[in-house]
Copies of this chain bind each other. A is one copy, B any other.
Amino acid sequence: MLFGEATALSADHTIADTFHGHIQPGWDIVGNANGGYTMAMFARGALLHSGRRDVISVSAHFLAPGVVGPITVVADPIKSGKRFATTRIDLANAERTMLSGTVITGDLDNGSGPDLISATPPDIPAPGNCVRTVSADFFPPPFVDRIEQRIDPSTAMGTTPGPEVRGWMKLLDDEPLDTLALVLASDSLPPTVFNTHLEPSWVPTVQMTIHIRNRPTTEWILLDSHTRVVTGGMFEVDNTIFDEDGTVLAHSRQLQLLGLAH
């Protein structure tokens, strides 16, 4: 099942502002749905509710693990302006709310102004010379088989160069990339802290904010993630997404808990 289908939502015919979806099997990490996957469904609720084309910004709080099964996405419109719609979103199953936060939607073609850009893509090998991630018994998780992910060999797991991971991503079967795919991509790389001596076990996301600056236009997208501060049992991951030509598509930051194996 491709990304678009796996994150599909249908409007409830009787309850306003409510959509139904299904957290599909196979998008998980040790049984819990990947955060980017559930955030994409979360953001889709805002797109459908607002009728806008692009996701501009997502801020989401992760309240409970995403478990396979039916979910509802409830949209609470906060503001509908000329340029942006701002929508509060809750994604829940029958037991509990998994994600709560706010999504800005709009049309990336509507903005104009001068460019002044200093962000540069990392210099990594072409996708064909990177390491394709495939799932194994425990790690990498099943989720990685739902996308095509190629990791820069110099940041491949186990090389412990420091808390950074870089790589390429596209969707299976060349499914076109859109701003929802960037939401997925923002949380698709292996956690940076696995590339350290810290021996983390589980690293649940607490909060994540994504800003989308351009629509993807190339076959692959390039992800560049790093962590600068691990302290007090928490760490942040900054991730920048580039097109193949170096255009910045999105940047995100997530705050995660550091659960240790020992």
The smallest beta-carbon distance between A75 and chain B, in angstroms, is 14
**Are B209's CB and A231's CB within 8 A?**
no
Give the oligomeric copy count: 2
The answer to whether the Cβ of A44 comes within 8 Å of any Cβ in the partner chain is no
| A interface bracket (residues with beta carbon within 8 Å of B) | 35 or more
Q: Mark A194-238, 1 if CB is under 8 A from B, else 0.
A: 001010000000110101011000000000000111111111100
The answer to whether the Cβ of A27 comes within 8 Å of any Cβ in the partner chain is no
Interface residues of A: mostly helix, strand, loop or mixed? strand
The answer to whether the Cβ of A128 comes within 8 Å of any Cβ in the partner chain is no
The answer to whether the Cβ of A84 comes within 8 Å of any Cβ in the partner chain is yes
**Are B229's CB and A260's CB within 8 A?**
no
**Are B198's CB and A116's CB within 8 A?**
yes
Chain B, Cβ-Cβ closest to A232: B111
Question: Restricting to A56-82, which residues have a CB under 8 Å from any CB of B?
Answer: 57, 59, 61, 63, 78-79
Q: Point out the residues of chain B lying under 8 angstroms from A234, CB to CB.
A: 111, 113, 213
Q: Mark A107-140, 1 if CB is under 8 A from B, else 0.
A: 0100111111111000000000000000000000
B162, B207, B248: which contacts A118 (Cβ < 8 A)?
B162
Q: Point out the residues of chain B lying under 8 angstroms from A253, CB to CB.
A: 209, 211, 251, 253
The answer to whether the Cβ of A102 comes within 8 Å of any Cβ in the partner chain is yes
What are some 25 contacts across the A-B interface (CB < 8 A)? A57-B255, A59-B101, A59-B102, A63-B78, A102-B102, A111-B231, A111-B234, A113-B231, A113-B233, A113-B258, A114-B230, A114-B258, A114-B260, A116-B198, A116-B230, A117-B230, A118-B162, A118-B227, A118-B229, A211-B253, A211-B255, A214-B231, A229-B251, A231-B248, A251-B253
